[in-house]
Amino acid sequence: MNIGYSKVLFFILIIIFVRCSSSSDVEPINPMIMIEDVEKLEGNNGTLQIDYKVTLSASHTEDIILSYKSDDASAFQDSDYKSVEGQLIISSGEVEATIPLDIVSDNIKEGNEYFRLLFQSDMEVEFNKKTAQIKIKNDDSELPYGNSDYSTPDTYIGWTKAWADEFDDPEINTSWWTHEIGNGDNGWGNNELEQYTDAPENSRIENGNLVIEARDDSWNGQQYTSARMITRDKKTFGFSRTDIRAKLPFGQGIWPALWMLGNNIGSKGWPACGEIDIMELIGNLPSTSHATVHFGADFNNYKYIGDKYSISSEIFNDRFHVFSVVREFNQMWFYVDDILIFEFDSKDTQGQPYPFNEQFFFIFNIAIGGNWPGNPDETTQFPQRMEVDYVRVFEKE
């Protein structure tokens, strides 16, 4: 009796096991959604369309529905590519679908740039990653201007203007700017020769531009005077795009700079606070501008890295140019006239902390003499002026 009951129970368990193991009753396993980076040559004059492919690791019995949208990185909507946003459906039984992308083509020399495609889904699916980089490879050689000054737009799609000084008021706005007064005795280093003042001879608004003027006139024991203006504790910014339109001075020993320091310099000190040099120029090389970052846990671990950009057949005093920096989390890009010249991210810190995710303030100045440019000589003409038409800061919406 017990033996017969055991046999019946055994066969019932076998039937249940077979049914549960039947492929028709097993929940299908979702394939992996494969998102890959791509790169394309920019092309010339018009629009280059590319088909970006999203693939599955295997076909699926149901439609896979994704949402996607483009996002600026070192490339920008309208000027470098056309923004996209929508839904992508990979039909059941299929393993890929495409998103049409439009690259804005031109003949302008610029660095290799990229934008992003961001993906997500409300379905229970897995991605190898959710962000694709679309690199636009430059294949041009023309400069972005003819005989005109360069300018950048007042608005960007997907960005909001956080602050701007157009220097259209009759006086320098002291609610935004502070003059630093002093010289090398203030601990600024570099063995410079100027005395920074707040005198109108050294800084003023003139014809809608900020003028910073370096002069060969003694003050407080220094042979030269100039101005150094900062926005510390008044206007500070984190992740953003900054455009500064300026015409630069020149000459042996002249050292103009448009730059930023971490607003925590009081507690962190330099270089731990970080320094972002959007533009520096050494006056005896007036056709070359430099973009540089400085960092390090302390002075003993100080590091810097940067790059330069040169124009031909003219100098940066001949016309206005726009110097820009874009900051995102752990990444920065530097531009001259929208030409990408230098990029930097947290992997480039040579083992030192990355300080550039914090709030930074602006410094505009002309130094005279010092370790890098050397001192003025008989060829140096005074006065020398840096004219700034605007500084604009944009933040992503």
Task: Give the alpha-carbon dihedral of 99, 105, 110, 116, to 10 degrees.
Answer: -10
* Contact in structure between 116 and 134 (CB atoms under 8 Å): yes
CB atoms within 10 A of CB 22: 9
Q: How far apart are CA 150 and CA 156, in angstroms?
A: 17
Mark whether 280 is an active-site residue. yes
User: What's the maximum distance between 2 C-alpha atoms anywhere in the chain?
Assistant: 120
- Measured between its terminal Cα atoms, the distance across the chain in Å is 78
* Contact in structure between 384 and 251 (CB atoms under 8 Å): yes
Q: Name every residue whose Cβ is closer than 8 Å to that of residue 360 and which is 6 or more positions away in sequence.
A: 236, 237, 238, 260, 261, 262, 263, 274, 276
Q: What angle do CA 32, 35, 36 make, to 5 degrees?
A: 135
DSSP code, position 108:
B
Which of 113, 213, 275, 387 is catalytic? The answer is 275
- β-pair type (240-247, 384-396): antiparallel
Q: Which long-range contacts (CB under 8 A, 24 or more apart) does 379-383 make?
A: 379/251, 379/252, 380/251, 380/252, 380/253, 380/254, 380/283, 381/251, 382/214, 382/215, 382/216, 382/224, 383/213, 383/214, 383/215, 383/216
Q: Which tokens hold the place of 100? A: 């049409």
Which of 42, 113, 213, 280 is catalytic? The answer is 280
Q: How far apart are CA 395 and CA 340, in angstroms?
A: 19
Mark whether 39 is an active-site residue. no
Query: Residues with catalytic annotation?
Result: 275, 280
